[in-house]
Structure 1
Amino acid sequence: MKFQRILFLSLLLISTFSLHAQRGGVKYGSSGYSESVNKGSDRFTRLVKDVWFDIKDKDTRITGDSALYYDKQGIMIVFGDVRIKKGDSVTITARRLNYYMNDNKAELRNNVVYEDKRIRLTTNYLDYYTNTEDARFYNGGKIVDGETTLEAEDAYVINAENLIKFYEDVKLKSPDYDLKTDTLFYHQITKIATTYGPTQTIMKDGEIIDAKEGGRFQTDSKQVTYLEGKITTESYEIFGDDLFFDDIRQESRAKGNVRVISEEDNIIILGDEATTQKDSGITKIWGNPVMKQLVDNDTLYMSADTLISIDSKVDSLSRLLAYKNVKIFKSDMQGVADSMAYMMLDSMIFLYEDPILWSDGNQITADTIALEMVNGKLDKMKMKNRAFTINKDTVANFNQIKGRNMTAYFKNDKMDKILVNGNGESIYFAIDDKDNSLIGMNKILCSNMKIQFLNGQMNDITFYKDPEGRFIPPHEINEPETRLKDFNWQIDKKPELKEVLGKHAPLALPSLENQPEIIKPDPSRLKGELKKIDSNEK
């Protein structure tokens, strides 16, 4: 009986010791039992059920279902429902823990969940340092910070800098966009994510932004800055050295070597800067902007001080506008104007304020000129108010047609006929086909007229409503009579291709004589250019 009491008291003492044992500044215990196991130099203590360790100088408490404690080596191995509590700021749970006191390092494995006052981290492999509160996960993990979720293969939580560094297969998810990259640094205070190297961002509306050199993402203000990137929408692509996107204002900006490309319309627009308002579908390009469009095996070039593209869900409202110093170049047509509107759906071009066009030897002016393109070819031209057409013949005479309004019709890129409506006036010179000698000059006034052309030259004129005219033989022709009022031959304003391209001339073949294919390329040439946007043309 006394022996049983002595044995009971001994067991009670052992149990009490397991709850309050202290070695090397560590308190530990369990609600079950503990035992010391001696295996040579690998002496350890086994603890079972509701195990706990208190590391006072690190303000850290570790709990679990069972543990092995290597007192001499300062190593704890904890199993089951493992939990680390670091002050009132950090809590980590896992299925297994190896803690090395000399290194202040905790290795947590399987179903690891790290939580502090800002983030929640989940992984299967986490190393945590109790002295610095730094952490690292590898072999895949996820961090949630408010509405932002970050996934990667490897990440480092640097507490002193409030910084998390992510590496390999990094994915950032937010309510507004998803991001993919290989290297991302995320600042927990500023909520700024900075990526390095190729980065892709997919907006919720399907817009895709690719950057070669990474970007800076202000997740709170929803603003993004990219280095050398591309914005891809349903309608176009925008390239630039620097790209900026503001999700709140729904505005994109590009700066430096800007290109706006529409494959559907076969259009490339070059410039120094561009902005896009997503809600209105308006894209503005300025700083030496140039448009290039493939039209029926030819290329239409246009430049101005500012180009504005309006992309509308209603196709008939989609258009391109140009303001100030408009210049146009096509192999069969050149022109200048103050401003222009290009309607995408029906290929209508409107030129405003003192427009001038040169086509097949004809100079055409009016207050407003409207061009109708069919299958990439000029089909009809309407000249409204003060219409004036001048054609220089083979012996340098100026054939002239003047009227209130005119409509010119084209066949095979050549002028076929002109209809004059109101206040018609005409001067044309009759030339002997055999020796090109001057036969005489016809001068006619009438209300309306029709002029037929052959090979780009006036061939036949029909007059309507009380025509008045006279034929003047060569010896009676006086110089003032050879010009209609308001005659102004402005061939010096006719733009060359290099003038239209301006600073972008190196992007195309500069010499028309040596490189005729720039004027009439294979359609696949521009198609290739639309997809190949980097080194070949820089």
Structure 2
Amino acid sequence: MNIQYFLASGFCLLFFSVSEESFSQQSSTLEINRADLLRGANGFERLLGNVEMKHQNSLIYCDSAHFFRAENRAQLFGRVRIKDIEDPITTTSSYAEYNGNTKVAKLRRNVVFTNQQTTLYTDYLDYNRETNIATYFNEGKVVDSTNVLTSERGIYEVNLERITFRQNVVLVNPDYTMKTNNLIYRTIPKTSETKGLTNIVSKEGYKLDAQKGSFYDTQQKQFRFFDGIVETEESRVKAQELFYDEAKAYYEGKDDVRVLNKERQVEVYGDRGKYWENRKYSLVYGNALVRKYFEKDTLFMTADTLISQDSETDTAKYLLAFKSIKLTKTDLAGIADSLVYNYSDSSIRLFQDPVMWNHKSQISADSMVFFIVNEELDRVFMKDKAFAIMSDTLLNFNQMKGREMTGYFKEGQMKRLLIDGNGESLYFALEADTLTQGINRILSANIKLTFNDGAIQKANFGIRPDGKFTPVQKIDEKVSKLVGFNWRIAEKPDRMTIDAWRKPEEIDLGAENLFNIPDVKLEMPSDRQIQEKLMKSNLAPIKKPLNPAIMKDNFL
């Protein structure tokens, strides 16, 4: 009789002789459906060739198996495949251990865990069928229709369609590459949530970083960063909570928002902010602050609300500021209710009771515009109720007023002043810059004044000026001031004023970034590997046999 037929018949008799009680418990008992050959061994049965086993709703296939019937477990060898009958889950590996009591499969080497469009690759996977949770360690890779994720360790909660990745996590899709150490990925909506440091680089080279985690919808291409920064070639946006919609090129930030226009070297801060990247249009409000960076200096300005427009398609490129305007620079300071900064000609327009200070001068009007050239104050134009006050070397207040004024500056100080319409001037006549002789008061439609260190050096007047000189002995409070005189130096803002409004912390451009950590792992070869390499290269030293006579002499 054929031994294979005999063994197969014995296997069938053994299988069909199981008691009814065993059949009633088959839901928890590991069963044998078929095998080409069955052999007994000490403590277990060997199943050889086309093995098929069953446990609950799972079919188990392999080339061979060791079945520990008493312990209700099996060791599976070669082309292992575990297929769930009801759920779309299939697992393959080179080797596995399956425990029918705990319902845990331990799969090793070339493991592939597939759930519909999501596939997990690893060499070490524990799959608990009771909880439907698969745990991998020592590196794994998850692939779906959109993303590829790798990490050192991971937990796949199948019922929740959720995978938790731990340590050296990398998410790659056609548009972005993300690195972090703690990521939760939901396979159905294809969203990722990270905790702690998270770094992303787009295919265009944009950098998206978060110190305190992020949320990323990989299909909608929407991001939410916590303590996050998004940086492109043209801009840098930062906030404690930062939302970014890639399709709309739209940013929205909350708490400590800052937007840097790299081309203009203008940075805007505030409590809340919105930024449309394509339009280069930003809206920032709540204790807003502007820093305009020059090569040698920086202009600071505060406001309640800031609007910046810098689109290439618009002829007007500007910055608007509303309410509580205060600005300061090394050579000037100013206040106003509202302001317009024109990027094209570096002009700053102030409205509603603006006042500007420059070294020893103070100017005010209903509205004014001043121009910055080569990072220095170049000229200022004042309209309606224009009033200029300059302090000379003796701290006297020289005063000028008129319908319109134009002031010209050199090295940060006013050098010339042109008054056009209803001009009035009051200036102190000095002797050798040390002694006041009296006050000159002149009325003229047009006045041209030249200054040196705050003192009038030269004065030209229009047709038929009306002048009066008051000697020093007759100078009093009324004579020494023009109508409308108001020295408002106490309102002059400085850096302390700016810092009290908002003092931004500088961005740490050298902060930890996971993309700066090399991916290459260098492993030192063993001595055996070195020797084998040398032998292949014919570089290994040749060991000569020792001369027995020499050995004898040495021994004696």
TM-score, normalising length from structure 1?
0.81
Unmatched 5+ stretches in structure 1: 1-6, 509-528
SS at match of 1:287: strand
The aligned residue for residue 26 of structure 2 is none
Deviation of 1:443 (Å): 0.3
CA separation in 2, counterparts of 1:490 and 1:533? 44
Q: 1:15 aligns with which of 8, 12, 15?
A: 8
CA pair 530-63 structure 1, distance change in 2 beyond 3 A: closer
Are the counterparts in 1 of residues 317 and 343 from structure 2 also a CA contact under 8 Å? yes
Deviation of 1:451 (Å): 1.5
Show CA shifts across 1:435-469 (max 9, x none): 5223341303034x4221111322112234x2423
The residue identity in structure 1 corresponding to 2:498 is V
CA separation in 1, counterparts of 2:484 and 2:433? 33
Deviation of 1:329 (Å): 1.7
Deviation of 1:337 (Å): 1.1
The aligned residue for residue 514 of structure 1 is none
Alignment of 1:88-103 (within 5 A): 88-89=86-87, 90-103=89-102
The aligned residue for residue 51 of structure 1 is 51
Equivalent pairs counted in the alignment come to: 498
CA separation in 2, counterparts of 1:471 and 1:20? 135
The aligned residue for residue 284 of structure 1 is 283
Deviation of 1:161 (Å): 4.4
The residue identity in structure 2 corresponding to 1:26 is L
The aligned residue for residue 451 of structure 1 is 449
The residue identity in structure 2 corresponding to 1:46 is L
CA separation in 2, counterparts of 1:96 and 1:129? 16
Alignment of 1:112-511 (within 5 A): 112-117=111-116, 119-174=118-173, 177-188=176-187, 191-203=190-202, 206-219=205-218, 222-247=221-246, 249-261=248-260, 267-313=266-312, 318-344=317-343, 346-395=345-394, 397-433=396-432, 435-447=434-446, 449-464=447-462, 466-474=463-471, 483-484=481-482, 486-504=484-502
The aligned residue for residue 550 of structure 2 is none
Show CA shifts across 1:467-518 (max 9, x none): 423232327778666555554443343224333332435x69xxxxxxxxxx
TM-score, normalising length from structure 2?
0.78
Deviation of 1:87 (Å): 2.3
Deviation of 1:166 (Å): 0.6
Are the counterparts in 2 of residues 399 and 427 from structure 1 also a CA contact under 8 Å? yes
Are the counterparts in 2 of residues 169 and 180 from structure 1 also a CA contact under 8 Å? yes
The residue identity in structure 1 corresponding to 2:285 is W
Deviation of 1:283 (Å): 2.6
Show CA shifts across 1:6-35 (max 9, x none): x15x7445335557964773333556x303
Deviation of 1:340 (Å): 1.8
Are the counterparts in 2 of residues 327 and 336 from structure 1 also a CA contact under 8 Å? yes
The residue identity in structure 2 corresponding to 1:101 is G
SS at match of 2:496: helix
The residue identity in structure 1 corresponding to 2:499 is L
CA pair 258-392 structure 1, distance change in 2 beyond 3 A: same
Deviation of 1:359 (Å): 0.9
Unmatched 5+ stretches in structure 2: 23-28, 512-556
CA separation in 2, counterparts of 1:280 and 1:265? 15
Deviation of 1:367 (Å): 3.6
Deviation of 1:308 (Å): 2.9
Show CA shifts across 1:358-403 (max 9, x none): 1122211234322222332212223344433222335554423334
CA separation in 2, counterparts of 1:245 and 1:15? 66
**Identity over aligned pairs, percent:** 32
Are the counterparts in 1 of residues 426 and 442 from structure 2 also a CA contact under 8 Å? yes
SS at match of 1:283: strand
Are the counterparts in 2 of residues 154 and 168 from structure 1 also a CA contact under 8 Å? yes
The residue identity in structure 2 corresponding to 1:459 is Q
The aligned residue for residue 80 of structure 2 is 82
CA separation in 1, counterparts of 2:249 and 2:235? 16
CA separation in 2, counterparts of 1:419 and 1:440? 20
CA separation in 1, counterparts of 2:59 and 2:182? 34
CA-atom RMSD in angstroms: 3.4
Deviation of 1:200 (Å): 1.5
Q: Which moved more, 1:16-25 or 1:379-388?
A: 16-25
CA separation in 1, counterparts of 2:182 and 2:159? 20
Deviation of 1:357 (Å): 0.5
Deviation of 1:313 (Å): 4.3
Are the counterparts in 1 of residues 368 and 382 from structure 2 also a CA contact under 8 Å? yes
Deviation of 1:336 (Å): 0.5
The aligned residue for residue 528 of structure 2 is none
Q: Which moved more, 1:395-404 or 1:471-480?
A: 471-480
The aligned residue for residue 34 of structure 1 is 37
The aligned residue for residue 525 of structure 1 is none
Deviation of 1:151 (Å): 2.1
SS at match of 1:402: strand
Are the counterparts in 2 of residues 19 and 29 from structure 1 also a CA contact under 8 Å? no
Are the counterparts in 1 of residues 244 and 250 from structure 2 also a CA contact under 8 Å? yes
Are the counterparts in 1 of residues 339 and 351 from structure 2 also a CA contact under 8 Å? yes
